[in-house]
Amino acid sequence: MNGPLDGLKVLDVGTVLAAPIAATLLADLGAEVLKIEHPRGDSIRTWGVNKNGAYLLWKVVNRNKKSITLNLSNPEGQEIFRRLAKDSDIVIENFRPGTMNRWNIGIDQLRKINPQIIMISISGWGQNGPYSNKPGYGTLAEGISGFAQLNGPEDSPPTLPPVGMADGTSGLFAAFAALAAIFHREINGGRGQHVDISLYESLYTLLGFTNVPVTQYDQLGVIPHRMGNRTNFESPRNLYKTKDDRWISISSTNESMAKRIFTAMGMEKLLEDPRFENNDKRLENIDEVDRIVSEWMSRHDSEEVLSLFEKNEATAGIVYDVKDMFEDEHFRARENIVTVMDSELGPMKTHGIFPIFRDTPGVIQNSGLPLGQNNEEIYMKRLGLSEKELLALKEKNVI
């Protein structure tokens, strides 16, 4: 079967994480994505952990793409890129604002040859504004967006995530925006457009929906603060350590669920206590709530906790590490971990494709490929260059 985006043509000229993640999300669902790299290669090819010199991040972040090399700062490379863009749908890039224009391949230049083209530009600070020309990285975005200020224990300093959260969030927003632009193009006359994604606004927007810091400050004069594993809108909600040294997460998103949790613990009468009778009261006495739940958890093994909570239809889950995921039957049933054949590593496990389309599922056809593996296919078969022309371009470091 073909994925839901079969027939969509994407040029990925991004580097490192955010833009490549966006393009991979499209590739996972069937889009043809050309990963276009400078002849020296994307720096992410040598990032992070490796096995015998094979870098794992590259293989996962750039799966399902074809790999070609092209020097976009070279006029000949720019002309080749314009030829590729002529029948493409989307360009995804994350250079500093103005770079694509300087290379004569910005949205206005590409529209002259392909009015339907959509360009997704991802940068640290956006395409305009006082910060737009400053260097921007995910780490900076995680700070200025407000995420680090909210993350971590109450008595700790602001805490950055141990993963590329700003890049990942921006990749998701960019993929969503690309498809929204495609929809608009198809419904409203076939014209493409330029979409502006910034790293900091991606996380800022996510926090806006999940923590409402702007609205809190505007309406209440409150600056949200770090609460560890708690939230300011439900109690009990935390991680609790069991007798067998596992961590259990629980959440009470409404009064019905809170009652089920206390019933599972054999403490439903707590809800008759004025201190705990509703969510607002429990939030006022959150330290005591957590003390009671923590003490109960410490007297029970994790399996017993899960059994009691399941019996009472209360929410609880063990905090997993990746080994737990490998052993979990639900992860297997949902194909959350799949195997792909890699040219260097052989069988390699990675995360499965999500979202899941039942009628047109995506498929992982390849992990991140060796640099320039598809040069001959794209340049000779698609663009019609001769073997002699291809060799000349290589000698001039154009490809």
> What does the pLDDT read at residue 175?
98
pLDDT at 1: 61
Which CATH fold topology does 237-323 show? Answer: formyl-coa transferase, domain 3 (3.30.1540)
Question: Can you give the pLDDT at residue 89?
Answer: 98
* Res. 2 pLDDT band, cuts 50 70 90: confident
Query: What is the topology classification, in CATH, of domain 9-206+338-395?
Result: Rossmann fold (3.40.50)
In the predicted model, what is the mean pLDDT of the chain?
Answer: 97
Indicate the pTM of the whole model.
Answer: 0.95
Sign of the CA dihedral running 211, 214, 220, 224 = positive
Q: Is the pLDDT of residue 107 over 70?
A: yes
CB 391: neighbour CB atoms within 10 A?
12
pLDDT at res. 257: 96
Q: Judge whether 368 and 37 are in contact, CB under 8 Å.
A: no
| Paired tokens of 89 | 């749908």
The strand pairing partners of 66, in sequence order, are 34
First to last CA, the chain: 33
- In tens, the pLDDT along 224-234 reads 999 999 998 99
Neighbours of 260 (CB within 10 A): 19
For 370-396, write each residue's pLDDT tens digit.
999 999 999 999 999 999 999 999 999
Note whether 41 and 371 are within 8 A (CB): yes
Phi/psi at 348 (nearest 5 deg)? -135, 130
DSSP 275-307: TTSSHHHHHHTHHHHHHHHHHHHTTS-HHHHHH
* Token reading at 96: 């500093």
Pseudo-torsion of CA 289, 292, 297, 300, nearest 10°? -150
Q: Domain locations in the chain?
A: 9-206+338-395, 237-323
218 is an active site residue: no
**Residues present in the chain in total:** 399
Averaged pLDDT, 55-70: 98
Neighbours of 161 (CB within 10 A): 15
The pLDDT value recorded for residue 364 is: 97
Whether 237-323 and 9-206+338-395 are alike in CATH topology: the answer is no
| 186-215 pLDDT, tens digit each | 999 889 999 999 999 999 999 999 999 999
Q: Of 42, 89, 167, 290, which one is the catalytic site residue?
A: 167
Percent share of the chain, pLDDT over 90: 98
Q: Give the span between the Cα atoms of 28 and 363, in whole angstroms.
A: 6
Question: Angle at Cα 354 formed by Cα 373 and Cα 38, nearest 5°?
Answer: 25
Mean pLDDT of 303-308: 98
